[in-house]
Amino acid sequence: MKRLLSLIPALAPALVLSACVVGPNYVKPSTPLTASGAGFAETARGSTVAVTALPDHWWRLYDDPVVDRLVTEALAHNTDIRVAAANLERARAVVSEQNGARLPSTSPSAQYARQQGNSANAAAFGGSSAKPQTFQFDSFKLGFDASYEVDLFGGVTRAVEAARGDAQAAQAQLDAARVAVAAETARAYANACSNAAQTAVAQETVALQQKTLGLTNTLFTAGRGTRRDVQRADVLLAQTQATIPGFEAERRASLYALAVLTGLPPEQIDKDAAACTTPPRVRDVLPVGDGTALIARRPDVRAAERTLAADTARVGVAVADLYPKIQLLGSIGLNSTKGSQLFKGTSVNYSVGPLISWSFPNQTVGRARVRQARAGANASLATFDGKVLTALQETEQALARYAGALDRNAALRRAEASSSGAAKLSQLRFDYGADSFLLLIQAERDRADARAALAQSDAAVADAQISLFKALGGGWEDAPAPTRRAPSAQ
C-alpha cells in the first residue's frame, strides 16, 4: 500500500493534464436573417393566416373528436414512431457506454488447477540431479486487475459529447416521426371524408340526371323528342356514374391506411372515419407564427443541429488519438498450493504502474482520420443550413398553396351556386318549351361539373391545411409514450 501511495505524486501531472480537451469547441451556427423573427412572405399577401403561435396540438383546431382520437392513437401505436423510439433508447445506451469509459475497468478472477510436475525441471534450474520423479500439486489463485485511462487530451470527453449529440438527434428524429404521423393520420381521415363527399355529390347528380333521362324517354315516346336526345342524356348519366367507383375505392384505401397508421391491421376500419361524409376544415384564420418559432420547432432542423454538434466532437476524438495515451494499471493476487495458505502474507503478489502508448512518428492514419472527421463536420454544417432553408421553403410553399386553394374554392363555390340556378331555370324553360333539349343537357353538364369541382376543391383545401401544419413542424409536444398495440384491439 505504501508503494501505491508513493506513485500518486508521480502521476499528479498526468491527472492535471487530463483537464486538457483538444479539438474544436462547438458553437451553435447562426440561421439565415429571414428566420430571425421576421414573418413569412406569404403572410403579407392575405388574411388567411396569422402570426400568432401555433398550438402544440394543431389538429384540435378542427374541433373534431374523431380527428383528435385518431391522431392520439397513431402517436401512441404507430410503428414508425416505435422504431424511432427504439433508436433513441439505443442512442441513450451508447451515452451510458461512453460515460463508463470515465471509470476504471476492473476484472476479478479465481482459479483452481490440479497440476503435474517433474523433478527434472527443478534440476534444470539448479535443483537436485537425482533421478527425475513425477509429482502432483494443487494451485489456488485469486486475482483482481484494474485499469484506468487518463483522459489526457480529452478524447473520452469528446466521445461522450458526440454520444450525447447523437442521442439528442435521435430524440429530434423521434419528434419528426411524430410530426409526420400526426399529419398523415389527419390526411388519411380527410381523404376518406373527401372521397365520401365527392361520392355523395356524384350520387346526387346521378339522381338528377336519371330524372332528366326519364323525362327524355317520355318525350321521345310522345313524339316530342329524338333518339339522339335520349342517347345524349344517357351518356351524361353514364359519365357521372363512372366517377363513383373511383371515389369509393379511394375512400376505402384511405380507411385502410388510417388503420395501419394507428397500429391496426388494415381490415380493422375505424367506424367513425367510415361514417364521415364532410372533410374536416379549420374555418378560422390559421396561426402560423414566424420564422424564429418555426426553426426552433421543426424537429428535422433540431436533429441536424445536434448531429453537427456530435460530428464536431468527433473531430476532437480524432485529434486526441494523435497524442499519447496513459493507462494506470494495477493488479493484486493470491497464489498458493494449499487452500489453507491462500490468505497468508506469503501468497500475496501485486503490480502497479502506468502504461504509455503513442502512435509516433508515423501518424498518417491518425491525421487522415482527423481530416475525415473535419469533412464530416463540414457536411453536417451544410446539412443544417439546408434543413433551415428547406423548412422556410416548405412553409412558404404550403402557405402559397393554401391561399390558392382558398381562392379557388371561393370561386368554385360561386360557380356551383350559379350553375345550380341556371340548371333549374333551364329545366323550367324546357318544360314549357322555351328552351331546346340541347340547352338543358348543357346546363345539367355545367351543374355536374361545378358540383364535382367544388367537392374536389373542398378536398384540396383540407389537404392544403394539413400540409401547412406539417410544414410548421408542430404536434410532437407532450406526445404519449409509444407502445405495441394488441392485434385484436378495436
Choose the weakest-confidence range: 6-15, 121-130, 318-327, 390-399.
Answer: 6-15
Average pLDDT, the chain: 89
The dihedrals phi and psi of 185, each to the nearest 5 degrees, come to -65, -45
Does residue 105 have a pLDDT over 80? yes
Give the HSE-up count for residue 119: Cα atoms under 13 Å, Cβ half-sphere. 9
- pLDDT above 90 as % of the chain: 67
Choose the weakest-confidence range: 47-56, 57-66, 260-269.
Answer: 47-56
Give the mean model confidence (pLDDT) for residues 463-483: 95
CA distance 377 to 372: 9
Q: How confident is residue 38, by pLDDT bands cut at 50, 70 and 90?
A: low
Looking at residue 229, its pLDDT comes to 87
The pairing of strands 49-50 and 286-287 is: parallel
Does residue 135 have a pLDDT over 80? no
Does residue 13 have a pLDDT over 80? no
Give the mean model confidence (pLDDT) for residues 40-60: 88
- pLDDT above 70 as % of the chain: 91
Q: Extract the C-alpha cell encoding 263.
A: 397500429
CA distance 199 to 196: 5
Looking at residue 7, its pLDDT comes to 43
Looking at residue 134, its pLDDT comes to 78
Give the mean model confidence (pLDDT) for residues 456-481: 95
Amino acid making up residue 484: R
Q: How confident is residue 99, by pLDDT bands cut at 50, 70 and 90?
A: very high
The pairing of strands 348-357 and 286-287 is: unpaired
Rg (CA), the chain: 38
Provide the 8-state DSSP code for 135: E
Does residue 107 have a pLDDT over 80? yes
Give the mean model confidence (pLDDT) for residues 6-17: 47
Handedness of CA 198, 202, 205, 207 (dihedral sign): negative
Choose the weakest-confidence range: 412-421, 444-453, 459-468.
Answer: 444-453
Q: Note the pLDDT tens digit of each residue in 222-254.
A: 888 889 989 998 999 999 999 999 999 999 999
CA distance 269 to 70: 12
Does residue 125 have a pLDDT over 80? no
Looking at residue 19, its pLDDT comes to 54
Amino acid making up residue 65: P
Residue 63: count of CB within 10 angstroms of its CB? 12
**Which positions ≥6 away from 35 have C-beta within 8 Å?**
291, 292, 294, 295, 388, 392
Give the mean model confidence (pLDDT) for residues 413-420: 95
In the chain the domains, ranked by start, together with CATH numbers, are: 2-116+132-472 (1.20.1600.10)
Does residue 17 have a pLDDT over 50? no
Q: Note the pLDDT tens digit of each residue in 58-79.
A: 999 999 999 999 999 999 999 9
Looking at residue 326, its pLDDT comes to 92
Strand partners, 351: 331
Residue 431: count of CB within 10 angstroms of its CB? 11
Q: Which residue has the higher pLDDT, 255 or 120?
A: 255
Region at 281 (left for phi over 0; alpha for psi -120 to 50; beta for the rest) = beta
Q: Extract the C-alpha cell encoding 270.
A: 375505424
Q: Which residue has the higher pLDDT, 298 or 116?
A: 298
Q: Note the pLDDT tens digit of each residue in 340-352.
A: 777 887 889 999 9
Looking at residue 490, its pLDDT comes to 47
Q: Extract the C-alpha cell encoding 275.
A: 361514417
Q: Note the pLDDT tens digit of each residue in 267-318.
A: 999 999 999 999 999 988 999 999 889 999 999 999 999 999 999 999 999 9
> C-alpha distances in angstroms, 196 versus 203, 318, 330, 447, 465?
10, 60, 76, 19, 19
Q: How confident is residue 187, by pLDDT bands cut at 50, 70 and 90?
A: very high
Q: Note the pLDDT tens digit of each residue in 165-182.
A: 999 999 999 999 999 999
Q: Where are the beta strands (DSSP E) in 57-133?
A: 105-118
Q: Which residue has the cell 433508447?
A: 89
Amino acid making up residue 112: Y
Coil, helix or strand for 101?
coil
Enter the pTM of the model.
0.86
Choose the weakest-confidence range: 84-98, 122-136, 196-210.
Answer: 122-136
Residue 357: count of CB within 10 angstroms of its CB? 9
